[in-house]
């Protein structure tokens, strides 16, 4: 990790998932890069800022010798594991975070609350608070991430107080925050909001999410919110703001320049000569609108028989949260849909849909982005969606077109450079794909340049630095230093 802008500043990052996931293999352990937007954005920050990253290593280890081995190898990457019992981790991550909280944050209805996962959620947040409070020193900046840890700021503030330490606490939410009425569906809604209001600074991806949060604080807790972006609650003044999360575009430029990647690009171009390639890369998750995407693509093929054998959709569905029943059901549904679409539209020359339910290596991902004429993203709701940024980063030569759902957070910033549509409107989606394929080179270039400037201006490093600067600035102002 590179040098910090303020070498004296001690920074702790906390997220449920560490940047490396640990797996047991014969004779020891193996680590691999975790996937997802959070890891992508924070990894971009490592170039400019030094920090320790606390989180769950994704594996249960009971044997102290195993724990020691894993701790030692993670330490080389400045990552500190917080070990959890398997059942507790399961109830916290799958049970409460992903089966109850995640759907509510993404406007999905029909969620049933259950007390066992909620108690596990509380317990894990307490265990994190203990570990972080012990590791923090007076003046440490603590930056907590995402919905798995919404109770942590309050628990941590109490622990730190007991130990006589004063630290700045910030929080970033990587999902949408829904409009008030939706949030009220959650029986424990107040606890989670109060948990966050022990922060000094809370960051959101868009102005809409920030405003929804502020409105909820007013209606649910009676907090004072008529003071700009600030919320006054129980003698605390909490600042909220929008921070545009991004990627590290240089990483893609450098990867694309590698000879092996260039060779792969050449092979793929030859393979799809004369065919328009549409790419989709999504975690296999309801919020990514994958069933809607397949329906829309099916409709597009129906609408345009003249394009038979001339278009292919390459869809990478990255396995995700596979222990959750709803995710398993979605996987089965997608498999069936993909089979039906190919059954209906295949010709002796080939099939129009290439559906991959697996993770692909980073270099392959970059090559795929690079050869695609169109990137189709159909989220029904999505905090930001960094895949849209990554596609643009790989389109220097082709000026491919981004077809982006109006419900992705990224659409708030990228609508002028993309073609937007409603993911549940199959006709609109079909028309958007057709328009993207037929855009003139001049229009493509104009849209591409707009998006290129946006992703190069709003990098992950800038996002992280802005947040850290604002958090430390707030603490200096409020005299919160030791």
Q: Identify the residue among 4, 6, 9, 36 touching ligand ADP (CB under 6 A).
A: 36
Q: Are strands 79-81 and 52-56 parallel, antiparallel or unpaired?
A: parallel
Smallest distance from ligand ADP to CB 386, Å: 4
Q: Cβ closer to ligand ADP: 132 or 244?
A: 244
- Nearest 10 degrees: CA dihedral of 245, 247, 249, 254? 160
Site string for ligand ADP, 271-300 (x = CB under 6 A): ----------x-x-----------------
Site string for ligand F6P, 368-397 (x = CB under 6 A): ---------------x--------------
Q: Identify the residue among 17, 293, 345, 462 touching ligand F6P (CB under 6 A).
A: 17
Nearest residue to 410 (alpha-carbon basis) of 363, 377, 434, 433: 377
180 binds, among ligand ADP, ligand F6P, none (CB under 5 to 8 A by kind): none
User: Please, what is the angle between helix 460-477 and helix 37-45, to 10°?
Assistant: 70
Q: Cβ closer to ligand F6P: 154 or 285?
A: 285
What is the b/e burial string over 253-285, where b = at least 16 CB atoms within 10 angstroms of the residue's CB?
eebbeeeebeebbeebeeeeeebbbbbbbbbbb
Q: Identify the residue among 1, 29, 36, 69 touching ligand F6P (CB under 6 A).
A: 36
Calculate the alpha carbon distances from 205 to 77, 197, 241, 402, 418 in Å: 27, 18, 9, 20, 19
117-156 binders of ligand F6P (CB under 6 A):
146
Smallest distance from ligand F6P to CB 107, Å: 15
The yes or no reply on residue 18 touching ligand ADP (CB under 6 A) is no
Q: Taking the CA atoms of 324, 328, 329 and 333 in sequence, report the sign of the dihedral they define.
A: positive
Number of other residues whose CB lies within 10 A of the CB of residue 482:
10
Site string for ligand F6P, 288-327 (x = CB under 6 A): --------------------------------xx------
Q: Identify the residue among 318, 372, 374, 436 touching ligand ADP (CB under 6 A).
A: 318
Number of other residues whose CB lies within 10 A of the CB of residue 440:
8
What is the Cα 151 distance to its own chain's centre?
A: 20
Smallest distance from ligand F6P to CB 36, Å: 2
Calculate the alpha carbon distances from 298 to 342, 352, 433 in Å: 9, 9, 11
Q: Identify the residue among 214, 387, 393, 394 touching ligand ADP (CB under 6 A).
A: 387
Quick one: which segment of 36-44, 194-202, 447-455, 462-470 binds ligand F6P (CB under 6 A)?
Answer: 36-44
Quick one: which segment of 32-40, 176-184, 262-270, 328-336 binds ligand F6P (CB under 6 A)?
Answer: 32-40
Q: Identify the residue among 1, 135, 220, 360 touching ligand ADP (CB under 6 A).
A: 360
User: Please, what is the angle between helix 152-162 and helix 189-196, to 10°?
Assistant: 50
What is the Cα 429 distance to its own chain's centre?
A: 24
Secondary element (H or E) of residue 233: strand 230-233
> Contacts with ligand ADP: how many residues (CB under 6 A)?
16
Smallest distance from ligand ADP to CB 139, Å: 31
Secondary element (H or E) of residue 20: strand 20-25
Quick one: which segment of 31-39, 112-120, 362-370, 429-437 binds ligand F6P (CB under 6 A)?
Answer: 31-39
């Amino acid at each position: 990790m590179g040098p910090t802008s303020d070498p004296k500043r001690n920074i702790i990052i906390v997220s449920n998932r560490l940047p490396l996931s640990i797996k047991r293999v014969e004779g020891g352990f193996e680590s691999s890069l975790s996937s997802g937007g959070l890891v992508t954005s924070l990894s971009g920050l490592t170039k400019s800022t030094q920090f320790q990253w606390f989180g769950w290593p994704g594996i249960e280890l009971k044997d102290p010798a195993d724990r020691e081995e894993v701790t030692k190898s993670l330490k080389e990457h400045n990552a500190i594991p917080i070990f959890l019992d398997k059942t507790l981790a399961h109830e916290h991550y799958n049970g409460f975070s992903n089966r109850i909280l995640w759907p509510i944050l993404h406007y999905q209805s029909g969620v049933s609350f259950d007390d066992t996962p909620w108690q596990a959620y509380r317990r894990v947040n307490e265990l994190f608070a203990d570990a972080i409070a012990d590791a923090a020193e007076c003046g440490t900046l603590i930056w907590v991430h995402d919905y798995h840890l919404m109770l942590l700021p309050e628990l941590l503030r109490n622990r730190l107080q007991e130990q006589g330490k004063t630290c700045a606490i910030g929080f970033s939410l990587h999902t949408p925050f829904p409009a008030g009425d939706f949030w009220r569906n959650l029986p424990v809604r107040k606890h989670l909001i109060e948990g966050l209001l022990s922060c000094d600074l809370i960051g959101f991806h868009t102005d809409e999410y920030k405003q929804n949060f502020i409105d909820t604080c007013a209606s649910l807790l009676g907090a004072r919110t008529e003071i700009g972006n600030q919320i006054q609650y129980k003698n605390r003044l909490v600042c909220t703001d929008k921070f545009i999360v991004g990627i590290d575009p240089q990483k893609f430029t450098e990867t694309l320049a590698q000879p092996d990647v260039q060779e792969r690009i050449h092979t793929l171009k030859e393979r799809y000569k004369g065919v328009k390639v549409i790419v989709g890369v999504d975690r296999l998750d309801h919020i990514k609108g994958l069933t809607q995407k397949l329906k829309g693509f099916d409709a597009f093929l129906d609408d345009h028989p003249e394009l038979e054998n001339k278009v292919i959709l390459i869809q990478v569905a990255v396995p995700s949260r596979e222990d959750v029943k709803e995710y398993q059901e979605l996987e089965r549904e997608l498999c069936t849909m993909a089979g039906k679409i190919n059954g209906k539209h295949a010709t002796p020359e080939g099939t129009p849909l290439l559906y991959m339910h697996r993770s692909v290596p980073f270099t392959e991902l970059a090559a795929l982005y690079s050869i695609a004429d169109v990137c189709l993203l159909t989220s029904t709701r999505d905090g930001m969606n960094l895949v849209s940024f990554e596609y643009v980063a790989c389109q220097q030569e082709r000026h491919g077109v981004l077809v982006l759902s109006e419900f992705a957070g990224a659409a708030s910033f990228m609508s002028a450079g993309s073609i937007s549509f409603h993911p549940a409107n199959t006709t609109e989606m079909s028309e958007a794909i057709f328009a993207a394929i037929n855009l003139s080179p001049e229009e493509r270039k104009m849209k591409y340049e707009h998006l290129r400037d946006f992703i190069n201006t709003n990098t992950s490093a800038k996002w992280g630095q802005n947040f850290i600067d604002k958090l430390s600035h707030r603490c200096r102002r409020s005299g919160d230093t030791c």
